[in-house]
Amino acid sequence: MTNKHPSLFSPFMLTEKIKLRNRIVMAPMTTWSANPDGTISEQELEFYKRRSQNVGV
């Protein structure tokens, strides 16, 4: 398969000291799974742990 967007998967220097593996990011959003008092729930924490694996940011 031909890569139509090679820059998306190439490293990117965000700052002089921060190098990202690629340019794919997850936009800020909510999953509506926080605890009633607004603190993060175990379910929400696990969701973000899974989503943050093998991404640039």
Q: Note the maximum CA span of the chain.
A: 48
From first to last of its 57 residues, the chain has per-residue pLDDT tens of 457 888 888 999 999 999 988 888 777 776 677 899 989 889 888 888 888 787 655
CA atoms within 13 A of residue 52's CA, in its CB half-sphere? 8
38 within a domain of the structure (yes/no): yes
Domain of 42, in residue numbers: 6-51
Task: Count CA atoms closer than 13 A to 46's CA, side-chain side.
Answer: 4
**Could you tell me if residue 13 is inside a domain?**
yes
Q: What is the pTM of this model?
A: 0.48
Within-domain flag for 46: yes
In a domain, 57, yes or no: no
Residue 11 resides in a domain: yes
Total domains, the chain: 1
Q: Considering the domain boundaries, does residue 24 fall inside one?
A: yes
Inside any domain, residue 16: yes
Q: How far is CA 56 from the centre of its chain?
A: 7
Question: Judging by beta carbons within 10 Å of its beta carbon (0-12, 13-18, 19+), is residue 27 exposed, middle or buried?
Answer: exposed
